[in-house]
Amino acid sequence: MLVPVCSLHTYLHSWFDSQFTGALGVLLLLEEVDRILNLHAHLGILLQFLVRQHIIVDCSMKQKISLFIQVSMMLANINCCLDAIGYYFITKEFREKNLKNLRKTFSSAEAHSE
Protein backbone atom coordinates (compact mmCIF):
# COMPACT_ATOMS: atom_id res chain seq x y z
CA MET A 1 0.00 0.00 0.00
CA LEU A 2 2.76 2.47 0.89
CA VAL A 3 4.87 1.91 -2.22
CA PRO A 4 2.15 3.04 -4.69
CA VAL A 5 1.33 6.02 -2.48
CA CYS A 6 5.00 7.02 -2.25
CA SER A 7 5.54 6.67 -5.99
CA LEU A 8 2.33 8.58 -6.68
CA HIS A 9 3.45 11.26 -4.23
CA THR A 10 6.80 11.54 -6.06
CA TYR A 11 5.02 11.77 -9.41
CA LEU A 12 2.59 14.40 -8.15
CA HIS A 13 5.39 16.39 -6.55
CA SER A 14 7.38 16.51 -9.80
CA TRP A 15 4.24 17.36 -11.79
CA PHE A 16 3.22 20.15 -9.40
CA ASP A 17 6.76 21.54 -9.40
CA SER A 18 6.57 21.93 -13.16
CA GLN A 19 3.00 23.28 -13.18
CA PHE A 20 2.69 25.45 -10.09
CA THR A 21 5.00 27.38 -7.85
CA GLY A 22 4.80 28.63 -4.34
CA ALA A 23 1.76 28.51 -2.12
CA LEU A 24 -0.68 27.29 -4.75
CA GLY A 25 1.46 24.28 -5.60
CA VAL A 26 1.87 23.33 -1.94
CA LEU A 27 -1.84 23.74 -1.33
CA LEU A 28 -2.77 21.54 -4.28
CA LEU A 29 -0.22 18.92 -3.26
CA LEU A 30 -1.58 18.81 0.30
CA GLU A 31 -5.10 18.44 -1.03
CA GLU A 32 -4.15 15.57 -3.33
CA VAL A 33 -2.33 13.71 -0.54
CA ASP A 34 -5.43 14.19 1.65
CA ARG A 35 -7.61 12.64 -1.02
CA ILE A 36 -5.32 9.65 -1.48
CA LEU A 37 -4.97 8.91 2.23
CA ASN A 38 -8.66 9.42 3.00
CA LEU A 39 -9.57 7.14 0.11
CA HIS A 40 -7.58 4.36 1.77
CA ALA A 41 -9.22 5.05 5.15
CA HIS A 42 -12.71 4.94 3.65
CA LEU A 43 -11.90 1.77 1.76
CA GLY A 44 -10.89 0.23 5.11
CA ILE A 45 -14.19 1.32 6.65
CA LEU A 46 -16.07 -0.32 3.77
CA LEU A 47 -14.12 -3.55 4.28
CA GLN A 48 -14.84 -3.42 8.01
CA PHE A 49 -18.55 -3.07 7.20
CA LEU A 50 -18.33 -6.19 5.03
CA VAL A 51 -16.67 -8.06 7.91
CA ARG A 52 -19.39 -7.01 10.35
CA GLN A 53 -22.10 -8.08 7.91
CA HIS A 54 -20.42 -11.51 7.75
CA ILE A 55 -19.73 -11.19 4.04
CA ILE A 56 -16.01 -11.59 4.71
CA VAL A 57 -15.56 -14.51 7.10
CA ASP A 58 -11.94 -15.62 6.60
CA CYS A 59 -10.05 -15.04 9.86
CA SER A 60 -6.73 -14.12 8.23
CA MET A 61 -8.50 -11.66 5.93
CA LYS A 62 -10.23 -10.08 8.95
CA GLN A 63 -6.85 -9.59 10.61
CA LYS A 64 -5.40 -8.02 7.47
CA ILE A 65 -8.39 -5.71 7.18
CA SER A 66 -8.03 -4.71 10.82
CA LEU A 67 -4.35 -3.89 10.30
CA PHE A 68 -5.15 -2.04 7.06
CA ILE A 69 -7.73 0.13 8.86
CA GLN A 70 -5.34 0.94 11.70
CA VAL A 71 -2.47 1.88 9.38
CA SER A 72 -4.61 3.88 6.96
CA MET A 73 -6.34 5.79 9.77
CA MET A 74 -2.98 6.48 11.41
CA LEU A 75 -1.58 7.88 8.14
CA ALA A 76 -4.68 10.00 7.58
CA ASN A 77 -4.44 11.41 11.12
CA ILE A 78 -0.73 12.15 10.80
CA ASN A 79 -1.43 13.87 7.51
CA CYS A 80 -4.02 16.10 9.19
CA CYS A 81 -1.40 17.21 11.69
CA LEU A 82 1.13 17.86 8.94
CA ASP A 83 -1.45 19.82 6.95
CA ALA A 84 -1.58 22.41 9.73
CA ILE A 85 2.16 22.96 9.39
CA GLY A 86 1.84 23.22 5.62
CA TYR A 87 -1.01 25.73 5.91
CA TYR A 88 1.11 27.82 8.29
CA PHE A 89 3.90 28.13 5.72
CA ILE A 90 1.43 28.81 2.91
CA THR A 91 -0.14 31.62 4.94
CA LYS A 92 3.28 33.00 5.84
CA GLU A 93 4.37 33.09 2.20
CA PHE A 94 1.05 34.62 1.12
CA ARG A 95 1.32 37.37 3.74
CA GLU A 96 4.92 38.15 2.84
CA LYS A 97 4.06 38.52 -0.86
CA ASN A 98 1.03 40.67 -0.10
CA LEU A 99 3.01 42.90 2.29
CA LYS A 100 5.62 43.46 -0.43
CA ASN A 101 2.88 44.34 -2.92
CA LEU A 102 1.23 46.70 -0.43
CA ARG A 103 4.53 48.41 0.32
CA LYS A 104 5.18 48.89 -3.40
CA THR A 105 1.68 50.26 -3.89
CA PHE A 106 1.97 52.72 -0.99
CA SER A 107 5.48 53.83 -1.97
CA SER A 108 4.39 54.46 -5.57
CA ALA A 109 1.29 56.31 -4.34
CA GLU A 110 3.42 58.50 -2.10
CA ALA A 111 5.82 59.20 -4.98
CA HIS A 112 2.93 60.27 -7.23
CA SER A 113 1.37 62.51 -4.56
CA GLU A 114 4.57 64.49 -3.99
Q: Above 60 in pLDDT, residue 42?
A: yes
Residue 72 reports pLDDT greater than 90: yes
Host domain of residue 31? 2-113
Let me know if 86 is exposed, middle or buried by CB neighbors in 10 A (0-12, 13-18, 19+): middle
**7/88: higher pLDDT:** 88
Q: What are phi and psi of 20, to 5 degrees?
A: -130, 155
Cα distance between residue 73 and residue 95, in whole Å: 33
pLDDT attached to residue 16 = 53
- Total domains, the chain: 1
CA distance 59 to 105: 68
Residues 6+ apart with CB under 8 A from 25: 16, 17, 19
Mean pLDDT of the chain: 79
User: What local confidence, expressed as pLDDT, does residue 49 receive?
Assistant: 95
Structure confidence by residue, pLDDT tens digits, 10-35? 665 665 555 456 677 778 888 888 89
Q: What is the pLDDT of residue 43?
A: 94
